[in-house]
Amino acid sequence: MSTLTEVNTLNTANSESVPTQNGEDSPVVKSTFTLEEIQKLLPHRYPFALVDKIVDYVPSEKAVGIKNVTFNEPHFQGHFPGRPIMPGVLIVEAMAQVGGIVLAQLPEIKQGLWMFTGIDQVKFRRQVVPGDQLLMTVELLWVKRRRFAKMQAVAEVDGQKVCEGELTFSMVD
Protein backbone atom coordinates (compact mmCIF):
# COMPACT_ATOMS: atom_id res chain seq x y z
CA MET A 1 0.00 0.00 0.00
CA SER A 2 2.90 2.36 -0.56
CA THR A 3 0.95 4.28 -3.21
CA LEU A 4 -2.01 4.95 -0.94
CA THR A 5 -1.58 8.74 -0.81
CA GLU A 6 0.39 9.21 -4.01
CA VAL A 7 -2.42 10.90 -5.95
CA ASN A 8 -2.88 13.85 -3.60
CA THR A 9 0.57 14.11 -2.09
CA LEU A 10 1.43 17.77 -2.45
CA ASN A 11 5.06 17.11 -3.35
CA THR A 12 4.46 14.95 -6.42
CA ALA A 13 5.60 15.97 -9.86
CA ASN A 14 2.05 16.17 -11.23
CA SER A 15 0.93 18.71 -8.63
CA GLU A 16 0.17 22.18 -9.86
CA SER A 17 0.74 25.37 -7.93
CA VAL A 18 -0.85 28.79 -7.95
CA PRO A 19 0.54 32.07 -6.67
CA THR A 20 -0.90 33.33 -3.37
CA GLN A 21 -1.35 36.92 -2.16
CA ASN A 22 2.13 36.95 -0.64
CA GLY A 23 3.68 35.89 -3.97
CA GLU A 24 4.56 32.32 -2.90
CA ASP A 25 3.31 29.30 -4.79
CA SER A 26 0.68 27.16 -3.07
CA PRO A 27 0.01 23.56 -4.16
CA VAL A 28 -3.41 22.82 -5.66
CA VAL A 29 -5.20 19.76 -4.29
CA LYS A 30 -7.00 17.63 -6.88
CA SER A 31 -10.78 17.75 -6.67
CA THR A 32 -11.53 15.10 -9.31
CA PHE A 33 -10.06 11.65 -9.94
CA THR A 34 -10.04 9.40 -12.98
CA LEU A 35 -10.41 5.63 -12.75
CA GLU A 36 -6.64 5.24 -12.99
CA GLU A 37 -6.12 7.65 -10.08
CA ILE A 38 -8.77 5.86 -8.02
CA GLN A 39 -6.91 2.59 -8.55
CA LYS A 40 -3.80 4.17 -7.04
CA LEU A 41 -5.79 4.89 -3.86
CA LEU A 42 -8.03 1.82 -3.52
CA PRO A 43 -7.07 -1.87 -3.71
CA HIS A 44 -10.35 -2.95 -5.40
CA ARG A 45 -10.23 -4.42 -8.92
CA TYR A 46 -12.76 -5.94 -11.32
CA PRO A 47 -15.35 -7.15 -10.61
CA PHE A 48 -15.35 -5.40 -7.24
CA ALA A 49 -14.17 -1.92 -8.22
CA LEU A 50 -17.44 0.01 -7.92
CA VAL A 51 -16.38 3.64 -8.42
CA ASP A 52 -15.79 4.94 -11.95
CA LYS A 53 -14.92 8.56 -11.19
CA ILE A 54 -14.63 11.07 -8.34
CA VAL A 55 -16.29 14.33 -9.40
CA ASP A 56 -15.73 16.30 -6.20
CA TYR A 57 -13.21 15.87 -3.40
CA VAL A 58 -12.62 18.04 -0.34
CA PRO A 59 -9.58 16.81 1.65
CA SER A 60 -10.44 15.36 5.08
CA GLU A 61 -14.13 16.13 4.52
CA LYS A 62 -15.94 14.45 1.64
CA ALA A 63 -15.89 12.84 -1.78
CA VAL A 64 -18.55 12.55 -4.46
CA GLY A 65 -18.24 9.57 -6.78
CA ILE A 66 -20.00 8.08 -9.78
CA LYS A 67 -20.81 4.46 -10.57
CA ASN A 68 -22.15 3.85 -14.07
CA VAL A 69 -24.43 0.84 -13.76
CA THR A 70 -24.25 -1.40 -16.85
CA PHE A 71 -26.07 -4.57 -17.82
CA ASN A 72 -22.85 -6.53 -18.40
CA GLU A 73 -21.92 -6.58 -14.69
CA PRO A 74 -21.68 -10.14 -13.37
CA HIS A 75 -24.26 -9.80 -10.56
CA PHE A 76 -27.07 -9.06 -13.03
CA GLN A 77 -26.96 -12.66 -14.33
CA GLY A 78 -28.63 -13.85 -11.16
CA HIS A 79 -30.08 -10.69 -9.57
CA PHE A 80 -32.62 -11.05 -11.11
CA PRO A 81 -32.99 -12.85 -14.48
CA GLY A 82 -35.41 -10.83 -16.58
CA ARG A 83 -35.45 -7.96 -14.05
CA PRO A 84 -31.89 -6.79 -13.27
CA ILE A 85 -31.56 -4.88 -9.99
CA MET A 86 -28.26 -3.80 -8.42
CA PRO A 87 -27.95 -5.60 -5.06
CA GLY A 88 -28.22 -3.29 -2.05
CA VAL A 89 -25.02 -4.65 -0.57
CA LEU A 90 -23.15 -3.50 -3.70
CA ILE A 91 -24.68 -0.03 -3.44
CA VAL A 92 -23.43 0.18 0.15
CA GLU A 93 -20.01 -1.17 -0.89
CA ALA A 94 -19.80 1.44 -3.67
CA MET A 95 -20.52 4.19 -1.12
CA ALA A 96 -17.82 2.72 1.16
CA GLN A 97 -15.31 2.81 -1.69
CA VAL A 98 -16.04 6.51 -2.22
CA GLY A 99 -15.42 6.97 1.51
CA GLY A 100 -12.12 5.14 1.06
CA ILE A 101 -10.94 7.96 -1.21
CA VAL A 102 -11.24 10.38 1.73
CA LEU A 103 -9.74 7.99 4.28
CA ALA A 104 -6.79 7.01 2.07
CA GLN A 105 -5.64 10.64 1.98
CA LEU A 106 -6.08 11.78 5.57
CA PRO A 107 -3.03 13.77 6.64
CA GLU A 108 -0.96 12.59 9.59
CA ILE A 109 -2.46 9.09 9.51
CA LYS A 110 -0.12 6.25 8.64
CA GLN A 111 -0.61 4.54 5.34
CA GLY A 112 -2.48 1.29 5.50
CA LEU A 113 -5.70 -0.41 4.56
CA TRP A 114 -9.00 0.99 5.78
CA MET A 115 -11.53 -1.84 6.07
CA PHE A 116 -15.28 -1.28 5.90
CA THR A 117 -16.49 -2.66 9.26
CA GLY A 118 -20.07 -1.61 9.84
CA ILE A 119 -23.26 0.00 8.67
CA ASP A 120 -25.87 1.84 10.72
CA GLN A 121 -29.29 3.18 9.82
CA VAL A 122 -29.02 2.19 6.15
CA LYS A 123 -32.21 2.66 4.20
CA PHE A 124 -32.96 1.79 0.58
CA ARG A 125 -35.39 4.16 -1.17
CA ARG A 126 -35.60 2.87 -4.76
CA GLN A 127 -34.09 0.30 -7.11
CA VAL A 128 -30.93 0.82 -9.13
CA VAL A 129 -31.02 -0.74 -12.60
CA PRO A 130 -28.74 -0.93 -15.65
CA GLY A 131 -28.46 2.46 -17.32
CA ASP A 132 -28.59 4.35 -14.02
CA GLN A 133 -25.74 6.57 -12.89
CA LEU A 134 -25.24 6.26 -9.15
CA LEU A 135 -24.02 9.54 -7.59
CA MET A 136 -22.57 8.91 -4.11
CA THR A 137 -21.71 11.60 -1.57
CA VAL A 138 -19.74 10.44 1.47
CA GLU A 139 -18.81 12.82 4.29
CA LEU A 140 -16.38 12.16 7.13
CA LEU A 141 -18.07 12.45 10.54
CA TRP A 142 -15.13 11.58 12.79
CA VAL A 143 -11.83 9.76 13.15
CA LYS A 144 -10.82 8.28 16.51
CA ARG A 145 -7.34 7.22 17.57
CA ARG A 146 -6.24 7.39 13.91
CA ARG A 147 -7.69 3.87 13.50
CA PHE A 148 -11.47 4.20 13.43
CA ALA A 149 -13.73 6.37 11.29
CA LYS A 150 -17.41 7.00 10.67
CA MET A 151 -18.91 8.52 7.53
CA GLN A 152 -22.36 9.62 6.36
CA ALA A 153 -23.21 8.32 2.88
CA VAL A 154 -25.99 9.11 0.41
CA ALA A 155 -26.50 7.59 -3.05
CA GLU A 156 -28.78 9.16 -5.66
CA VAL A 157 -29.97 8.45 -9.19
CA ASP A 158 -31.41 11.32 -11.24
CA GLY A 159 -31.67 13.47 -8.10
CA GLN A 160 -33.66 10.83 -6.19
CA LYS A 161 -32.18 9.28 -3.06
CA VAL A 162 -31.71 5.52 -3.45
CA CYS A 163 -29.71 4.70 -0.32
CA GLU A 164 -28.34 6.41 2.77
CA GLY A 165 -26.66 5.45 6.02
CA GLU A 166 -23.62 5.64 8.27
CA LEU A 167 -20.52 3.62 7.43
CA THR A 168 -17.82 2.59 9.90
CA PHE A 169 -14.20 1.84 9.00
CA SER A 170 -11.14 0.52 10.80
CA MET A 171 -7.45 0.74 9.85
CA VAL A 172 -5.75 -2.66 9.73
CA ASP A 173 -2.02 -3.22 9.97
Active site residues: 79
11: buried, middle or exposed (CB in 10 Å: 19+, 13-18, 0-12)? exposed
Compute the 3-state secondary structure of the chain and give helix, strand, coil in percent, each to the nearest 5: 15, 40, 45
CB 59 within 8 A of CB 8: yes
The residue length of the chain stands at 173
- DSSP-assigned states of every residue in 26-47: EEPPP--B-HHHHHHH----TT
Report the 10 Å Cβ neighbour count for 167. Answer: 24
Report the 10 Å Cβ neighbour count for 70. Answer: 12
Output the CA–CA distances (angstroms, integers) from residue 67 to 76, 87, 101, 155, in the order listed: 15, 14, 14, 10
